């Protein structure tokens, strides 16, 4: 039992010492939404199951490109189609996207993880949650 406890302690120490440290080099890349939900007083809508698509590419030269589509049925009656062209920055482990198009993307910080970006923010009573993975 003592040996198992020692091995577990070593494994935890190694895992903690190798925590992901986001840098421009390891964050840049092509991402696709794996989770994309909107929650309001009526409940949670899985936007991906409803037909939404969200891709975002972060280039080394700080530019972004990609595509955001949300069907009319879940976008308040008018489908949302947006080009993700813009710029990105990495500050304190968060990716911030600036772009001319007015979507939640430019107002949501994305926490950079190992091969993933996670965003979670409430806009006018609607909580939008996104997990993008490489």
pTM of the model: 0.84
Please give the residue range of the domain that contains residue 47.
Answer: 21-133
For residue range 22-71, what is the model confidence (pLDDT) as tens digits? 999 999 999 999 999 999 999 999 999 999 999 999 999 999 999 999 99
> Under a CB-based contact definition with an 8 Å cutoff, are residues 101 and 117 in contact?
no
- Into how many domains does the chain fold? 1
Nearest alpha-carbon partner for 128 in 55, 36, 31: 36
Is there a domain that residue 15 lies in? no
* pLDDT given at position 80: 94
CATH number for the domain spanning 101: value is: 2.40.128
Is there a domain that residue 124 lies in? yes
Is the model's pLDDT at 11 over the cut of 90?
Answer: no
For residue range 67-111, what is the model confidence (pLDDT) as tens digits? 999 999 888 889 999 999 999 999 999 999 999 899 999 999 999
Nearest alpha-carbon partner for 87 in 45, 107, 59: 59
């Amino acid at each position: 039992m003592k040996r198992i406890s020692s091995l577990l302690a070593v494994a935890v120490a190694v895992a903690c010492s190798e925590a992901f440290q986001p840098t421009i080099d390891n964050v840049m890349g092509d991402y696709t939404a794996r989770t994309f939900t909107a929650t309001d007083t009526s409940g949670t809508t899985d936007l991906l199951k409803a037909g939404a698509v969200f891709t975002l590419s972060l280039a080394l030269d700080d530019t972004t490109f990609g595509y955001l589509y949300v069907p009319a049925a879940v976008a308040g009656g008018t489908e949302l189609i947006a080009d993700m062209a813009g710029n990105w920055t990495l500050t304190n482990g968060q990716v911030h996207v600036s772009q001319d198009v007015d979507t939640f993307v430019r107002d949501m910080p994305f926490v950079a993880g190992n091969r993933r970006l996670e965003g979670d923010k409430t806009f006018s009573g609607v909580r939008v949650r996104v997990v993008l993975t490489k």
